[in-house]
């Protein structure tokens, strides 16, 4: 029997299988509000059979968005739109989760399909000044980011907690903190991006302070029965950058703070990184952290085929698979995976859908 379709429980939440929609920015919001696009995008993957639907990186402050068109959860007005999406996801038997985020030095960028994709959006065009642990650009364009004061760091930490409380009100059942890809939390972790000399920079204990403080604040803000995930870049893929060994130690500390799963991605802190992209290239990162930190992990990155996904779960290399572009291309991929891995056995999701149709439509 396929292990990919075994349920898994985190605290008070059970997922019907090990397939999750990875959080992917849709760049389709105005002032942070969810739209019909989000309901359709997220809901179709729930109908398609994924167990966990993770909403894209959602700004905990207006300045925490990657682009002016990214989703937000910095004010109570955002809750009703998100509630529409979570309600539909749950109606289809999936679990809604949200990735709360702050883009840091990578904020105020243009959408990927703009003639100048990812270029800085100046303030007079609706952009804003990026912020970070240090006054250090990630790329050559745009302003030197504002170096956060200690008071500003703590205000962003509190914004994460407030966002988590709104996530509960919006019907989400799992919260994930984004600490990867060169965004704010990861930029504190990586020596390539963090040049501070105070309690938030320098040695490992200091560079991990912002994330650990944020985790404590969020864990306190949500119910004890609600799972908390953290996405990390497990390595910067650059000598002198954040390393896999540091990720293992960080994962141990996150587990002690009440984190339930480490979502294992990589890269984003340096443009010169030599990333060995290929099928399942980040799975060994999830496998190492799972084994050495003794915490459940999620694997992400070019997981495209059912047999490949089955091997990862069956071999105990990860506990959850987060599919991104594959589920964009093929929203019903979980049903195809079922038919390939459990041939001759009706898929419960497809059967449920068929029996919901009028008698004349079943023939």
Q: Would you say how long the chain is, in residues?
A: 363
- The pLDDT tens digits for 67-106 are 999 999 999 999 999 999 999 999 999 999 999 999 999 9
For 101, how many CA atoms within 13 A lie in the half-sphere containing its CB? Answer: 32
- The pLDDT tens digits for 294-337 are 999 999 999 999 999 999 999 999 999 999 999 999 999 999 99
* 183 flagged as catalytic: yes
Mean pLDDT of 358-363: 39
- The pLDDT tens digits for 255-273 are 999 999 999 999 999 988 9
pLDDT value of position 356:
42
Banded pLDDT at 358 (limits 50, 70, 90): very low
pLDDT value of position 223:
98
Catalytic residue selected from 183, 200, 281, 332: 183
- The pLDDT tens digits for 202-241 are 999 999 999 999 999 999 999 999 999 999 999 999 999 9
Tell me if 130 sits within 8 A of 59, measured CB to CB.
no
| Residue 6: closest CA among 337, 358, 355 | 337
Strands (E), 120-187: 131-132, 146-147, 174-179
Give the residue, 229 or 357, on which the prediction is more confident: 229
- For residue 355, is pLDDT > 90? no
- For residue 351, is pLDDT > 80? no
Tell me if 109 sits within 8 A of 121, measured CB to CB.
yes
- For residue 344, is pLDDT > 90? no
What's the mean pLDDT when you consider all of the chain? 94
pTM of the model: 0.95
- For residue 177, is pLDDT > 70? yes
pLDDT value of position 360:
37
pLDDT value of position 142:
80
CA gap 183, 267 in Å, rounded: 11
CA gap 79, 72 in Å, rounded: 10
pLDDT value of position 353:
53
Banded pLDDT at 138 (limits 50, 70, 90): confident
- For residue 362, is pLDDT > 50? no
CA gap 238, 233 in Å, rounded: 12
Strands (E), the chain: 8-10, 13-15, 19-21, 52-59, 95-101, 131-132, 146-147, 174-179, 228-233, 261-265, 297-300, 320-323
Mean pLDDT of 137-157: 92
pLDDT value of position 13:
98
pLDDT value of position 363:
38
- Identify the three-state secondary structure at position 336: helix
């Amino acid at each position: 029997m396929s292990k990919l379709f075994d349920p898994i429980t985190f605290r008070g939440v059970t997922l019907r299988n090990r397939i999750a929609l990875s959080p992917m920015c849709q760049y389709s919001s105005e002032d942070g509000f969810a739209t019909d696009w989000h309901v359709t995008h997220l809901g179709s993957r729930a109908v398609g059979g994924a167990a966990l639907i993770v909403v894209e990186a959602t700004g905990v402050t207006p300045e925490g968005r990657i682009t002016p068109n990214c989703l937000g959860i910095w004010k109570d007005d955002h809750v009703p739109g998100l509630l529409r999406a979570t309600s539909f996801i749950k109606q289809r038997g999936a679990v809604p989760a949200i990735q709360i985020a702050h883009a840091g030095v990578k904020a105020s960028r243009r959408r990927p399909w703009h003639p100048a994709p990812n270029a800085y959006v100046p303030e007079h065009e609706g952009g804003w000044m990026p912020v970070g642990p240090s006054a250090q650009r990630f790329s050559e364009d745009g302003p030197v980011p504002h170096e956060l004061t200690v008071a500003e760091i703590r205000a962003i930490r509190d914004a994460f907690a407030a966002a988590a409380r709104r996530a509960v009100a919006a019907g989400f059942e799992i919260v994930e903190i984004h600490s990867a890809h060169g965004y704010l939390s990861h930029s504190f972790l990586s020596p390539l991006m963090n040049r501070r000399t105070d309690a938030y920079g320098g040695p490992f204990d200091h560079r991990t302070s912002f994330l650990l403080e944020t985790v404590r604040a969020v864990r306190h803000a949500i119910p004890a029965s609600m799972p908390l995930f953290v996405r990390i870049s497990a390595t910067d893929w650059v000598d002198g950058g954040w390393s896999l060994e540091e990720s293992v130690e960080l994962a141990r500390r996150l587990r002690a703070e009440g984190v339930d799963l480490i979502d294992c991605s990589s890269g984003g802190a340096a443009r010169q990184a030599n990333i060995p992209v290929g099928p399942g290239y980040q799975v060994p990162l999830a496998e190492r952290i799972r084994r050495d930190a003794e915490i459940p992990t999620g694997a992400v990155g070019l997981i495209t085929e059912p047999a490949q996904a089955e091997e990862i779960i069956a071999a105990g290399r990860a506990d959850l698979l987060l599919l991104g572009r594959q589920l964009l291309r093929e929203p019903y991929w979980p049903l195809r995976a079922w038919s390939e891995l459990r041939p001759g056995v009706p898929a419960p999701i497809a059967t449920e859908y068929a029996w919901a149709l009028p008698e004349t439509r079943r023939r």
